[in-house]
Amino acid sequence: MAGVDLIWSEAVRTLERDKPFALATVINVRGSTPREVGAKMIVRDDGQYGTIGGGCGEAEVFRKARLMLEAGEGARLAEVDLTGDFDQNEIGTCGGIMDVFIDLWSPRDLPMARQLADAAGHNRPAALLTVVDAGTRAELPPGTKAVVDPADRASAGELSGLKRSALGAIAERAADAVAGLLEVDGAGDLKPVTRVASDGAPRVFVDPITGAQRLIIVGAGHIAQPLAELGSMLGFHVTVIDDRASFANRERFPTADTVIVKPFAAAIAALGLDRHCYLISVTRGHAFDEETLRAALSKPSGCFIGMIGSRRRARATLARLEEDGFDPQLLNEVHVPLGLDIGAETPEEIAISIIAEVVRERRTGRRDEFNLGTRSGRLRRTS
């Protein structure tokens, strides 16, 4: 499960104890900031869970959230200005501005928290839709919220009177895990905005569940162990696959969410790959890696697919797949040889090289000479 989505499990535990909390969420950023849009923390009367970046900015948000908790009502925007923070003796300060929305959750919101925690726990797309500025719509006070289910495009209709097309756009954002601040115009349509304060039009924040991001490690050998640990540390839902029970087991992979003992192709076919998956082939042999690529590429899914190996082996494998009828454009999206060029040699270093490429792809989509696959002349370059 992605790290930020663990917040929903904590929200459920807090509300089940009949304790309210304030939820602080970064809804907009300008310039360089320590956390991205969607970062959040829970503030309770006994402390906090999660972080929006640390430092004096987070401390000020915490203070405002505690005041709201003491008052027992309200929702508000807080601007965290880090541009003048360079003289502070704090680690991690930046030079931008974060807009943070703080709203109260009470035990009556438990069903909603459970919906979000369940979606995160089962890697099922969903989103929290929250009114951050009512504009002229007095019937929609800030903090009004609903859970969006991409499978039910009418699920948020009662919240803001949105048109069907707008509901569809929100559902797509939920499915694609794209957070964003949106303005509702007079016709019920949506448009992205970068300004928090409105000119009379309501503004809502779409906060998707990102637990659908899965790191699928095919092969349970010496590279897979540190790779699984790194994946769990970074908040991925980690699945390890091998056809040998002596390798794919809980003793060797205690941090993995799922361990599957099954032939590689059959296991991959049963997973239901999608654009939120990162599939890494680190099996014990060339034939098994090629089997993995064939299974993963058999149905286009938008999944990140990578395979370790030498340049010669990579070119030969992709050439065979192309001869067998696989789309060359699809093959040019395969990250092979996998990893960033950091001079890695040990299993742990190779795992770092692999996860670094995964993070780079997830955060920036950038591919250049640092990617071993691009340097080999096959992986499609991006700017």
Can you tell me the distance from the alpha carbon of 336 to that of 233, in angstroms, rounded to the nearest whole number? 24
Closest-CA residue to 185 (of 209, 169, 173, 202): 202
Can you tell me the distance from the alpha carbon of 9 to that of 7, in angstroms, rounded to the nearest whole number? 6
In the listed set 150, 183, 208, which residue is the last one of a domain according to the structure? Answer: 208
Range of the domain at 199: 110-208
User: What does the DSSP 8-state code read for residue 134?
Assistant: -
Give per-10-residue mean pLDDT for the chain (383 aa). Answer: 72 96 93 83 94 86 94 88 57 70 96 91 83 79 86 58 70 75 77 73 84 87 97 90 97 95 96 89 94 93 92 91 94 95 96 96 90 90 85
Helix (H) / strand (E) containing 60: helix 55-71
- Is the preceding omega at residue 337 within 30 degrees of 0, hence cis? yes
- Which tens digits make up the pLDDT trace of 162-201? 667 777 777 777 766 778 888 877 776 778 887 776 677 7
Q: Is residue 3 part of a domain?
A: no
Q: Is residue 194 part of a domain?
A: yes
In the listed set 54, 83, 105, which residue is the last one of a domain according to the structure? Answer: 105
Give how many domains the chain has, as a whole number: 3
- Which tens digits make up the pLDDT trace of 328-374? 999 999 999 999 999 999 999 999 999 999 999 988 889 999 999 99
